[in-house]
Structure 1
Amino acid sequence: MEFACSHVVCNWSAESINAAYTSVCPRRSVNEHTYDNRTTVVNQAEPRIGPPPLPPPRHIHPQKQACRTSTSTIPPPPSFRPPPPPAPSAPPLHSSIVSPLPIEGQGQSRLRANVNVVSLSVGTLVDISKASCLQSCQRPVNCGKCSAVLSSVSSIQINVWSCEFCGGENTLSPDSSADPSTLGPRLGAFRGPRGRDVLYRPTPVEGDYQNLEDSVVVFCVDISGSMSVTTEVTPGNSMRSATYISRLQGIQDALQRALQSLLQSSPHRRVALVTFNDEVVVYGDGTREPTRFTDWALFDYDHIWQEGVAYSTPHCIAECYQALLQKVNEFRDHGATCLGPAALVSVAMASRYPGSKVILCTDGRANIGLGAMEQVPSSSSSSASFYRKLSHQAAASGVIVSIMTFEGTDCRLAEVGLLADSTGGRVNIVNMVTVAMEIQSALADNVLATGVRLTLLAPDGMYFPYEDDSNHKLVRDIGNVTEGLEITFQFAVKVDSVENFLQRDRLPFQLQLSFKTRDQQKVTRIITEQRGVTTASRVWAGGLNMAVLAVHCAQLCARLTMEGRVHEAQRQLQAQQVLLADISEQRPAPKEESIYGNWIETMTTICDDLTPEPEGEKVETTQLQNSQCTPAVLSDEAAEAVYQMKRASSGNSSSGRAQAHSTAKKTPEAMEAM
């Protein structure tokens, strides 16, 4: 767990963002500030592995540039800057030191954005091959009230554990032989310092093991009539004519390269092929008679799923490479686009083997069968419901789906992209030059764990904004996890609990990750930490973790935008811009500032395009807050950017570099299409 601030800011409230959306707090001099003698928090920045991927270059409309300048201008730096904090002789836990001046003394209430943010590197935590934590073959001891796990920070008095999260009392038997779920001989181990990170790994059961090469790769390819559209790949001159290739030819070349790569790197990997136009054809490994879905079958969800699950297991690519290559070379473009049924049967085929992949390539909007799209998008439409249902089924089966569309097309990527967003796959717009590379990148995205469930516990009296406004326990089903996945959350203290928390020295947090590894082991990892407390007036901006805050801002605003909550996303963006400006002023980091500023400006451009400024009087804050949440109507280019922002991370994993390449190729003209 990585926190944006090393202490919990107890008196932050959501009203600060709403107030900042339409007004600026009056300037307050240093002398007017009410002194608060609680400890000021200054995080010492931890070294980052590398910068996160860049989003698409921005193109801001001239009329909106003037508006943005007037509404989100960052105030000039104060005339007085606090001296640097003194370095302690022996840094205490979490390397926190005291700042002589709070950031509110600079003239504005800078904590409009919530700095109570935690980042969870789930992609790293589920990779047990690299885990250096304490491992146990026994079951964890859970609180009977809130399901917290007994850890090294727990207090035990005469075999009674008073839960540090909910206050519930749990009686622990000193005799482990009476009940395997009781504490028993583990009491000493949990009191050790290493008990803050424990991996519960039961003894493997015979028959549970699964060969990693048993997973399947299903290529689901559009061969409709629009795939005949050509693109110039070699310009002509006086000596020769220009060279053009069609989208179908580009896909054929990319698939040939992918098959050749799999043959060399993973000769035992199973590969299947599915095509679709006005019918769906399942070739499998190319050695059997193909199965076809036409007419009524294109509208029968259960029939397609059952046929896909029952389809014969493909041979490994070493045995069917030539047969697959022949089928690819025989592709002919014609007909309509029944994308939905093709995606359904592909996921069903892959569902028998957790960790399998479906790579779907298309250039047009689905217009036949299940998932056929209406002219006007709607969250309640049959197509949106279909892709939502299929995405949940794929995630539950441990299947990762990647979606690739071609530049200059309208595939309604905001809807189809749900398949990738829910399963840990990629959403990319490709061209003739990049399609082969993007397919290779999708093949490299191996699932590290399936069925991942995340539980985050904070003390009773806290809540998680935008997740659960009443509960101190957050549960999220993540599904598939690939390398580099990072998830962030906000947390805050309820108003009636602020004074109580400020009387405590430290507050506990616990992360519980339950998942299945690639070899089908059921594992639970428990990480417990404690954090000190402070108030908003005593937080020094220069000590905050810019990376955690920026990643959270990108993820949250992208999610709100996709849900149609554009005004809320804009409020978050404005508050975050001011906060990042404070951090940059106190601790300049030009490289990070450029990257994270790029993220914020990209999301701001998308949000502004979705909510044009009204003419006449300014819209009241209450009107913006009470506006209905309607699904965002995003172009494919905007949808690609938003989906990739939802999976923003601060690392430089291979997947991150590939996504950086994908987004960096955008032109200003492409962004203008948003």
Structure 2
Amino acid sequence: METFQRPVICGKCSAALSCLSSLQKNVWRCEFCGYENSVDESLAALCIGQRAGVRSDDLYLPRQSEDDYQNLEDTLVVFCVDTSGSMSVTTEVPSSNGSVTYVSRLEGMQDALYRALFTIKQRSPHRRVALVTFNDEVVIYGDGTSAPITLRDWALVDYDHIWEKGVTYHIPHCIAETYNHLIQRVKELREHGATCLGPAALASVAMASRYPGSKVILCTDGKANIGLGEMEEAPSLTPSAFTPYFYTQLALDAVQKGVIISVMTFEGTDCRLADIGKLADATGGRVNIVSIGTVAREIESVSEDNVLATGVKATLLASDGVYFPYEDENNHKLVREIGNVTKGLEITFQFAVKPDFMEFFLQKGMLPFQMQLSFKTRDQHRITRIITEQRPATTCSRIFAGRLNMAVLDVHCAQLCASLTMEGKVQEAQRQLKAQQDLLQQVSKWRPIQKEESMYGNWMETMTTICEDITTESQLTLSDEAAKVVYQMKRASSVRNNNNSSNTVNVQKKTTKKKKAVMEAV
């Protein structure tokens, strides 16, 4: 059902009235908490008239936009590029004639930017594109048509000052008009100095914040060692308390403004990806480690215009007596701030029943669940979608393993265990992994394991190995390789639905110098 009216909300638990709700004399007794709500007679008649089946799907549309209309292509891509001295490190690259050439990281990045700019100009000529670079200072080039702004010294530690400089830097032209200017700016880049990554990321997010649905693509090859977000040179077991706070705060600001950040580092470097990866994890971006040969492909992929919605909030309700494990709330209502959503995103939820309610639910036979999704579309309309379903309860203590939807269970296990690992709850992650692996073995006794299911099994092995490394080596932080895998697992999606998507985590075995079997996600 589509309507311009607002949903009728329960005064106690905030569940929404649906055509599956029970109404008597214009009184709705909430099926989730039991609270009695008075309902307008016209709405009651509408709900009763549409009552049927066990599923309700309602879309609540706005009467007018909350903000000014925004063109669908009126978004910004900011390339935030490391030009510090370490970007001069070279790699052997075979040429087409069989000889070997040496290409620096910066040269590889420049080539990747040339390709990305050309692709954006061809596919989305009306999109805005900006360039920010950083070494021991931040240079904001914008779209390349105006004089750049340089931030240095004290300005690199002033959050508000950097934000103001970024948000007030206008990007008036689209890529079709600025392509040649940007190409020239990229061509003139030279590597030198330190790595003020934090201030550059902040300035880039501030620039992008004017256009919800915009992207920041952060490329670096080293730890931030100057300015906000500086990583201490001391061992990473004792990081500065302010360092993770800076990246957490910047991620929150980006989510609030509808900005997606993707983070790329070069293989063979130590960038403290577990910390800076928070920017991507919170905003819906991607985390990856690239090489000279793969950086161009990865940059083109993450700059793709695949944003579906911003400001997304999901509220899941179940009957009183149901709760959601591993969540902050210990009741039958779960609120999750999702933020930005791109194509292919899958989010899973786990619920359980409190022992005192078990017999009562079995007697009822059917249990209601409701998902409320509030989000802003690309043109800044605030939409609410409410899906209500009745699900059967069973008295059977065993479910036939061969009929389980393993894709859902495996994706959930990957996401959950990755989250637990990032939170430091490694032993609980190991317990969940063992349970999932046991279940997969049980399923294999009833039916053949499908190809995609064997890949899910590899995911579990990957996380198991990472958790074992953490516990056996008493690590308090993840290596960049491990952090990349864990962040990708947190955003795992079903193989069948994303067969050609780079969001899908493909896993291969690799032997380390320690002669351990370590799984590397690529």
Q: What's the TM-score once normalised by structure 2's chain length?
A: 0.94
Q: CA RMSD in A?
A: 2.2
**Matched AA of 1:304:** I
Q: Name the counterpart of 1:43.
A: none
Q: Name the counterpart of 1:464.
A: 324
SS at match of 1:450: strand
- Give 1:383's match in structure 2, choosing from 239, 243, 255: 243
8 Å contact from structure 1 (residues 484, 655) kept in 2 = no
Structure 1 residues 372 and 379: alpha-carbon distance in aligned structure 2, compared to 1, 3 A threshold: closer
Q: Name the counterpart of 1:219.
A: 79
- Give 1:262's match in structure 2, choosing from 96, 102, 120: 120
Deviation at 1:395, TM superposition (A): 0.8
Q: Name the counterpart of 1:405.
A: 265
- Give 1:336's match in structure 2, choosing from 179, 187, 194: 194
Paired with 1:672 and 1:387, the residues of 2 have a C-alpha distance of: 28
Paired with 1:147 and 1:309, the residues of 2 have a C-alpha distance of: 37
8 Å contact from structure 2 (residues 465, 519) kept in 1 = no
8 Å contact from structure 2 (residues 323, 330) kept in 1 = yes
SS at match of 1:384: helix
Paired with 2:272 and 2:302, the residues of 1 have a C-alpha distance of: 21
Structure 1 residues 510 and 484: alpha-carbon distance in aligned structure 2, compared to 1, 3 A threshold: same
1:313 aligned onto 2:171: yes
- Give 1:439's match in structure 2, choosing from 299, 308, 325: 299
8 Å contact from structure 2 (residues 77, 129) kept in 1 = yes
1:554 aligned onto 2:414: yes
SS at match of 2:364: coil
8 Å contact from structure 1 (residues 378, 384) kept in 2 = no
- Give 1:598's match in structure 2, choosing from 448, 451, 458: 458
Q: Deviations over 1:269-316 (max 9, x none)?
A: 111100000000000111111101000000000110111111112411
Deviation at 1:589, TM superposition (A): 2.4
**Matched AA of 2:171:** T
Q: Name the counterpart of 2:134.
A: 276
Structure 1 residues 416 and 613: alpha-carbon distance in aligned structure 2, compared to 1, 3 A threshold: closer
Q: Deviations over 1:25-70 (max 9, x none)?
A: xxxxxxxxxxxxxxxxxxxxxxxxxxxxxxxxxxxxxxxxxxxxxx
Structure of larger gyration radius: 1
Q: Which has the higher contact order (CA 8 A, sep 6+)?
A: 1
Number of equivalenced pairs? 515
Q: Name the counterpart of 1:645.
A: 489
**Matched AA of 1:543:** R
SS at match of 2:492: coil
SS at match of 1:490: coil
Structure 1 residues 665 and 582: alpha-carbon distance in aligned structure 2, compared to 1, 3 A threshold: closer
Q: Name the counterpart of 1:480.
A: 340
- Give 2:104's match in structure 1, choosing from 246, 268, 274: 246
8 Å contact from structure 2 (residues 65, 382) kept in 1 = no
Q: Name the counterpart of 1:356.
A: 214
Counterparts of 1:204-215 in structure 2, within 5 Å, are: 204-205=64-65, 208-215=68-75
Paired with 2:49 and 2:151, the residues of 1 have a C-alpha distance of: 59
8 Å contact from structure 1 (residues 483, 655) kept in 2 = no
8 Å contact from structure 2 (residues 144, 178) kept in 1 = yes
- Give 1:496's match in structure 2, choosing from 327, 338, 356: 356
Q: Name the counterpart of 1:199.
A: 59
Q: Name the counterpart of 2:372.
A: 512
Paired with 2:359 and 2:52, the residues of 1 have a C-alpha distance of: 32
Deviation at 1:632, TM superposition (A): 4.3
8 Å contact from structure 2 (residues 325, 350) kept in 1 = yes
8 Å contact from structure 2 (residues 317, 333) kept in 1 = yes
Structure 1 residues 672 and 184: alpha-carbon distance in aligned structure 2, compared to 1, 3 A threshold: closer
1:173 aligned onto 2:40: yes
Deviation at 1:663, TM superposition (A): 5.1
Deviation at 1:202, TM superposition (A): 2.1
Paired with 2:98 and 2:23, the residues of 1 have a C-alpha distance of: 84
Unaligned segments of structure 1, at least 5 residues: 1-133, 177-182, 615-630
1:657 aligned onto 2:515: no
Deviation at 1:666, TM superposition (A): 7.8
**Which segment is superposed worse, 451-460 or 539-548?**
539-548
8 Å contact from structure 2 (residues 459, 507) kept in 1 = no
Q: Deviations over 1:574-595 (max 9, x none)?
A: 1111111112211222313311
Deviation at 1:205, TM superposition (A): 3.9
Counterparts of 1:72-221 in structure 2, within 5 Å, are: 134-174=1-41, 176=42, 183=43, 185-193=45-53, 196-205=56-65, 208-221=68-81
**Matched AA of 1:327:** R
8 Å contact from structure 2 (residues 230, 243) kept in 1 = yes
Paired with 1:608 and 1:639, the residues of 2 have a C-alpha distance of: 14
Deviation at 1:342, TM superposition (A): 0.1
8 Å contact from structure 2 (residues 26, 44) kept in 1 = no
SS at match of 2:313: strand
SS at match of 1:537: coil
Q: Name the counterpart of 1:326.
A: 184
Deviation at 1:543, TM superposition (A): 1.8
Q: Deviations over 1:499-541 (max 9, x none)?
A: 1112111000000000000011110001111111125623221
Paired with 1:666 and 1:322, the residues of 2 have a C-alpha distance of: 43
Paired with 1:343 and 1:632, the residues of 2 have a C-alpha distance of: 25
**Which segment is superposed worse, 194-203 or 571-580?**
194-203
Deviation at 1:667, TM superposition (A): 4.3
- Give 2:425's match in structure 1, choosing from 555, 562, 565: 565
**Matched AA of 2:458:** N
Paired with 2:49 and 2:184, the residues of 1 have a C-alpha distance of: 60
**More strand per residue: 1 or 2?**
2
Paired with 1:472 and 1:231, the residues of 2 have a C-alpha distance of: 55
**Which segment is superposed worse, 149-158 or 513-522?**
149-158
Deviation at 1:157, TM superposition (A): 1.0
**Matched AA of 1:505:** G
8 Å contact from structure 2 (residues 491, 503) kept in 1 = no
Q: Name the counterpart of 1:636.
A: 480
Structure 1 residues 535 and 229: alpha-carbon distance in aligned structure 2, compared to 1, 3 A threshold: farther
Q: What's the TM-score once normalised by structure 1's chain length?
A: 0.73
Structure 1 residues 655 and 317: alpha-carbon distance in aligned structure 2, compared to 1, 3 A threshold: farther
SS at match of 2:69: coil
Structure 1 residues 545 and 240: alpha-carbon distance in aligned structure 2, compared to 1, 3 A threshold: closer
Paired with 2:476 and 2:32, the residues of 1 have a C-alpha distance of: 38
Counterparts of 1:275-294 in structure 2, within 5 Å, are: 275-294=133-152
Structure 1 residues 392 and 667: alpha-carbon distance in aligned structure 2, compared to 1, 3 A threshold: same
Unaligned segments of structure 2, at least 5 residues: none
Deviation at 1:467, TM superposition (A): 0.8
SS at match of 2:472: coil
Q: Name the counterpart of 1:24.
A: none
Deviation at 1:327, TM superposition (A): 0.6
8 Å contact from structure 1 (residues 641, 663) kept in 2 = no
8 Å contact from structure 1 (residues 457, 510) kept in 2 = yes
Q: Name the counterpart of 1:396.
A: 256
Deviation at 1:204, TM superposition (A): 2.8
8 Å contact from structure 1 (residues 484, 651) kept in 2 = no
SS at match of 1:444: coil
